[in-house]
Amino acid sequence: MTLSLYEPLLFPSQIQHGELKVNEIQLITVQLLIIYRFEYVKNFEQPDVLLPNTWIVVRIDGRGFHKLSDHYGFVKPNDRRALDLMNAAAVEVMKDLPDLCIAYGVSDEFSFVFHPNCQLFERRNGKLVTTVVSTFTAYYIYKWSEYFPDTPLKPPLLPSFDGRAVIYPNAQILRDYMSWRQVDCHINNLYNTTFWHMVLKGGQGNTEAELELKGTVAADKNEILFKRFGVNYNNELEIYKKGTVLYRQYELEEPKAIPALEEQQQPEAKQSRSQQDKVRKLRRKAQVAVDHVDIIKDEFWNRRPWILSGNPGKLPVTEQ
């Protein structure tokens, strides 16, 4: 490395007019040599750019939330305050990152979805995951007192989350992923609702209840709830049975046929930076809807085509 390569970049006008003294040039030379001496460490960095034209799902999960929920007295089987806090933090993430098109949450987990045309952080895995996780955690802790005003957070039991990114090649597989999470929500909630009724209201021990529920199907659990406790599972709150879906609210459209899978797999042209900025501004104008609905059936997606298309819809009159 020679000084002449770097001089015009650091002090172009001074070099050209001979304004730098010899000792100043020598000092700059030493500094540049030091930089060059240790610059090799950058070679150990691993590229982590996610594949282009794929859906990116960043899924976060609470760390040690079983112990945390016991410590702060979460209500069993569902604590509405805790779920509302999760949703509130997720809404702020959606507002902060307009590149997100939809999110789904249940219990202490949330899945945030970036559209295939997303170029945020040049699609670097580490940047996307850490940004989502840190933003969510920050708002979760910041908003804690709104939902648990009488239970302040204290070390060492503080909320924290881990996260990972998974890519999916087309919209159908993304929908299958979202459906899987909602089915899992239903299965877990039915089990937990039955289990905690047996323990808290039926007087059974944890092990006894677990053994009785082992090998049961949904019909068996529904029967236990209804016959023993007079509970009709169908009347449970939708947030408990279906989880929470977040999306940007535009005017609902009349149901249309979903494009063929082959059409959904066609890669889109890469957007310019100005196009990306324009889309982000349009997305920021939309309210983030908090819903507890069926996302397995086609109707949800057909009436909200902007989620899969990535193109902002028409804002409701009250929001324009």
User: 54 near 168, Cβ under 8 Å?
Assistant: yes
Residues 158 and 135: their CA atoms lie apart, in Å, by 15
Residue 205 annotated as part of some ligand binding site: no
User: 151 near 39, Cβ under 8 Å?
Assistant: no
Residue 64 annotated as part of some ligand binding site: yes
Residue 62 annotated as part of some ligand binding site: yes
User: 87 near 165, Cβ under 8 Å?
Assistant: no
Residue 181 annotated as part of some ligand binding site: no
CA 2 from chain centre, in angstroms, equals 47
Main-chain phi, psi angles of 106, to 5 degrees = -155, 140
Q: Which of 62, 300, 293 is nearest to 161 (CA)?
A: 62
Residue 61 annotated as part of some ligand binding site: yes
Beta strand residue intervals within 140-227, DSSP E: 161-168
Main-chain phi, psi angles of 11, to 5 degrees = -135, 65
Q: 12: cis peptide before it, omega within 30°?
A: no
Residues 194 and 228: their CA atoms lie apart, in Å, by 10
Residues 279 and 310: their CA atoms lie apart, in Å, by 9
Residues 118 and 276: their CA atoms lie apart, in Å, by 8
Residues 164 and 61: their CA atoms lie apart, in Å, by 9
Residue 291 annotated as part of some ligand binding site: no
Q: Which residue positions form the known binding site for GTP?
A: 61-66, 107-108
Q: Which residue positions form the known binding site for Mg(2+)?
A: 61-62, 108
Q: Which residue positions form the known binding site?
A: 61-66, 107-108
